Amino acid sequence: MARKSSVERANELAGGFATARKNIVVQYGDRERNADELLSLIKKDAMSKGVRDPEFEKVDVYIKPEERKVFYVVNENVDGSIDF
């Protein structure tokens, strides 16, 4: 068996799950929202509360479909919610 080239080894290290495109969809009842859509709405809502784009460091998201709400906390000090 031939040895792998350094390029093949580098591709294996750089690829895989970490770099794979991901699509996360939350479904509940007759509604469904994907993660990118939710994050975009969260960003818009947080910016309406005074958070500027460069200030985003951490965003925690809590999805509560039974309440039809998505709660979030930005940088551990700005919180809010959007409709699911």
pLDDT at 69 over 90: yes
Size of the chain, expressed as the number of residues it contains: 84
CB hemisphere CA count around 53 (13 angstroms):
2
pTM (2 d.p.): 0.75
**Mean pLDDT over residues 60-75, rounded?**
96
pLDDT at 11 over 70: no
Is the pLDDT higher at 11 or at 42?
42
Which are the contacts of 33, defined by CB distance < 8 A and separation ≥ 6?
25, 26, 70, 84
**Mean pLDDT over residues 57-82, rounded?**
96
pLDDT at 12 over 70: no
Strand pairing category for 31-34 and 69-74: unpaired
Q: Which two tokens stand for residue 21?
A: 């495109």
Sole residue written with tokens 């958070």: 51
**pLDDT given for residue 4 in this prediction:** 66
**Mean pLDDT over residues 8-15, rounded?**
69
Domain boundaries, the chain: 7-83
From the list 45, 44, 51, the residue with the least C-alpha distance to 76 is: 51
